[in-house]
Amino acid sequence: MSRYSSEMDRREAIAAMLASAAGLGLLCQGAVEAQAPVVKPAAGAKAKAVIQIWLWGGSCHIDTFDPKPEAGRDYAGPLTSPIATKTDGLRISELMPLLAPLSDKYSVIRSMTHGVNSHETASYLVQTGRRSGDRLVYPCMGAVVSLLRGYDAGYRGMIPPYVVLTKPQGRFSESGFLGPKYKPFATGGDPAAKRFAVEGVISEQITDDRQKLRRDLLHGLDSLGAAMPGNDQFAKLDQTEKAAYDLILGDGAKLFDLNQEKDDLRERYGRTTFGQSCLMARRLVESGVPYVTVNYGGWDTHKQHFETMRRKLPELDKGLSTLITDLSDRGLLDSTIVWCGGEFGRTPKIGWEAPWNGGRSHWGSVFSALVAGGGFKGGHVVGSSDARGEQVKDRPVSPQDLIGTMYQLLGIDPDSPMPNPRGLDIKLMPAAEGGGRVTELI
């Protein structure tokens, strides 16, 4: 499995460096005019928004939602006592005690599969529903929702319709041929910090008064712009400037102020970047943003796997369980899909030998995903893996089918045409061969 395996630490460090070096992420609006097709509302539109919790790097199915203590130490490692839930046939990791009693609110798909074992191509596949190698680079689900539920479709929010907390993943989960208008707005900053400095929106140093003075100065010195009134190119820049200042000086900035939330709720989410990102995601969805991705890194555990699980799973447990409860308490869960999963699972058989010393590698043959809300039924388990969690035993579910099902819940007909630069006749999300939509859950 690839020369990447042992290098993920370095790669993550690089990704983090890139994100912080050039700051702001990659958003949308203003550019390519993709001709939004008329999308027939499909029957059963229930969801208005999606919160995607991306377990970046690939979380282990066996150590989260598909425990296999009976397979022995070489497969289960030290995590031998999974917790039963309210759902028939569902037990989950002992490190997630808060999610266990909530199981009537979510369902678990234990038979996700695509067979791809490299991060890039698997991420691309799980987020776009397409295999790589086509001459087109397809948009991910968030970009498609941004096209069909964003500004072209009547969305009027000040916050861009597709937001990533906090770091973007880059081209493997992006707008593809739809163009930069549909890229996510990546917030940068840290929502767990004292002040969540959303790059470009909230400035640490510049007061509102100085903002206004600077803006006047800029306008006074913009001689070429003044010499060319009515120029189309310049008019487009003026539009983006207006939108930017609406965010900077308007209510946009307040939405990102997590200090407006009660302390005890913030505690329940966990005062971690992930926990506070979940809280921020809820605030965004509450304000009408249709697609929010929480990029939650650190799951690529080739080494020190179980140490990492003991640290990360309680964090995931806290953030995700509170998010589901909070959405539910506010009556938002019925209209908000929560989708939690990564690009693949991890190798069931533990690598005890050096240099892994108890690590797990990449595993695309079978993995799990959690879905809740937005019309997804809770309290179900879909499909299963075999005794050692190595292959799908029952009811394979492909990324295409899961994405297609979510489109359907959003009232977007997955069979409607996908606008593309070459004018090809392609569908938004064709069903995978031999598979089908996850009808059990809707």
Partner 1 sequence: MGILDSARRTMALGASAAGPLAPYELAAWPIAATPLDVLHEKALAARRLTPARPCSDEVYLRRVFIDLLGTLPKPDEVNAFAQDKRSDRRARLVDALLTRPEFADYWAMRWGDTLRIKAEFPINLWPNAVQAYHRWVRDQVESNRPFDQVVTELLTANGSNFRVAPANFYRAIQTRDANGIAEAVALTWMGTRLDKWPAAKRTDLARFFSRLIFKKTEEWKEEIVCLDPTIVEPLDVTYPDGKSERIAAGADPRRAFAAWLTAPTNPYFARSLANRMWAWLFGRGIVHETDDIRPDNPPALPEVLSYLEAELVKARFDLRALIKIIVGSRCYQQSAIAQSTAPGAEALFAAYPVRRLDAEVLCDALLAITGQTDSYSSQVPEPFTWMPENQRAVALGDGSITSSFLEMFGRPPRDTGLDSERNNQPTDSQRLYMLNSGDLQRRLESSPQLRSLGLTSRGNRATMVRGLYVLILSRQPTDAELAAAGRYAGAPFQAGLDMAWALLNTKEFLYRH
Site residues for partner 1, window 25-54 (CB under 8 A)?
25-32
Q: Helix, strand, or coil here: 435?
A: coil
Instruction: Give the integer Cα–Cα distance in Å for 384 and 117.
Output: 20
Give 217 or 387: the residue with its C-beta nearer to partner 1. 217
Least Å distance between CB 198 and partner 1?
A: 9
Least Å distance between CB 208 and partner 1?
A: 11
16 in contact with partner 1 (CB under 8 A): no
Which residue in this structure is represented by tokens 């759902």?
A: 87
83-84 and 336-341 strand pairing: unpaired
Considering only residues 183, 266, 303, 362, which one is a binding residue for partner 1 as defined by CB under 8 A?
183
Contacts within 8 Å (CB) and 24+ apart, 196-202: 196/256, 196/257, 196/258, 196/276, 196/280, 198/253, 198/256, 199/23, 199/24, 199/25, 200/23, 200/24, 200/244, 200/247, 200/248, 201/247, 201/248, 201/252, 201/253, 201/256, 202/253, 202/256
Residues 92-131 that bind partner 1 (CB under 8 A): 120-121, 124
- With CB under 8 A, what is the number of residues at the site for partner 1? 81
137 in contact with partner 1 (CB under 8 A): yes
Give 46 or 234: the residue with its C-beta nearer to partner 1. 234
Instruction: Give the integer Cα–Cα distance in Å for 5 and 157.
Output: 41
Least Å distance between CB 420 and partner 1?
A: 12
Considering only residues 35, 207, 223, 260, which one is a binding residue for partner 1 as defined by CB under 8 A?
223
354 in contact with partner 1 (CB under 8 A): no
The answer to whether the CB of 82 falls within 8 A of the CB of 94 is yes
392-394 and 291-296 strand pairing: unpaired
Q: Helix, strand, or coil here: 330?
A: coil
Considering only residues 222, 257, 307, 334, which one is a binding residue for partner 1 as defined by CB under 8 A?
222
3 in contact with partner 1 (CB under 8 A): yes
Least Å distance between CB 219 and partner 1?
A: 8
Residue-wise burial string across 416-436, b where 16 or more C-beta atoms lie within 10 A, e elsewhere: bebbbeeeeebebbebbeebb
* Per-residue binding letters, 145-164, with partner 1 (x by CB under 8 A): ---------------x----
Alpha helices (H) in 33-173, listed in sequence order: 73-76, 119-128, 141-149
Considering only residues 97, 157, 203, 349, which one is a binding residue for partner 1 as defined by CB under 8 A?
203
Beta bridge partners of 182: 28
Least Å distance between CB 308 and partner 1?
A: 21
364 in contact with partner 1 (CB under 8 A): no
Tokens of 53: 């919790």
Contacts within 8 Å (CB) and 24+ apart, 88-94: 88/381, 89/381, 90/65, 90/381, 91/67, 92/64, 92/65, 92/67, 93/63, 93/64, 93/65, 93/67, 93/309, 93/313
Residues 294-353 that bind partner 1 (CB under 8 A): none
The answer to whether the CB of 280 falls within 8 A of the CB of 323 is no
**Segment contacting partner 1 by CB under 8 A, of 17-25, 257-265, 271-279, 385-393:** 17-25
Alpha helices (H) in 24-172, listed in sequence order: 73-76, 119-128, 141-149
420 in contact with partner 1 (CB under 8 A): no
Residue 102's CB: how many other CB atoms inside 10 A?
20
425 in contact with partner 1 (CB under 8 A): no
Least Å distance between CB 243 and partner 1?
A: 5
Give 225 or 298: the residue with its C-beta nearer to partner 1. 225
Least Å distance between CB 18 and partner 1?
A: 5
Give 183 or 346: the residue with its C-beta nearer to partner 1. 183
Give 15 or 320: the residue with its C-beta nearer to partner 1. 15
Least Å distance between CB 364 and partner 1?
A: 16
Considering only residues 185, 299, 376, 407, which one is a binding residue for partner 1 as defined by CB under 8 A?
185
362-363 and 345-346 strand pairing: antiparallel
* Per-residue binding letters, 225-264, with partner 1 (x by CB under 8 A): xxxxxxx-xx-xx--xx-xxx-xx----------------
212 in contact with partner 1 (CB under 8 A): no
